[in-house]
Amino acid sequence: MGITVLFFDEKVNSVIHGFTPVGRTNHYMPSLKADSIVKVDRFEVVRCSSMYKITDHSFLIRFISLTIIDEVITGAPEINLQSRLYCSTISK
């Protein structure tokens, strides 16, 4: 299983889904800490599948072998994402 993260862009008040494939989890796990702000460079932006959509954003960030994650700030303020997450229902 890979790593799923949520990125919050306060400039545009948007949340985007980020994903690390299973083969890269050990590489990126140390850089992804709870309550931290990070800078992410060199990643892919792909259209989000409606089957796995967890935010209302149309795209997701996918980490690749060239992705660089640098911690900017630790102890970031807690952000209430409940109102920004996409909740879909499946009816039978």
Domain ranges in the chain are 3-74
Q: Per-residue pLDDT for 81 more than 60?
A: no
Q: What is the pLDDT of residue 90?
A: 40
Q: What is the pLDDT of residues 51-74, one digit of tens each?
A: 778 888 889 999 999 999 988 876
Domain topology for 3-74: OB fold (Dihydrolipoamide Acetyltransferase, E2P) (2.40.50)
For residue 47, give both structure tokens.
């259209």
Indicate the helix (H) or strand (E) that contains 77: none
Q: What is the pLDDT of residues 6-53, one digit of tens each?
A: 888 777 878 888 988 888 888 988 888 877 788 889 999 999 887 778
Tokens 């932006």 correspond to what residue?
45
> Tokens representing 71?
């911690």
Residue 77 clears pLDDT 80, i.e. is over it? no
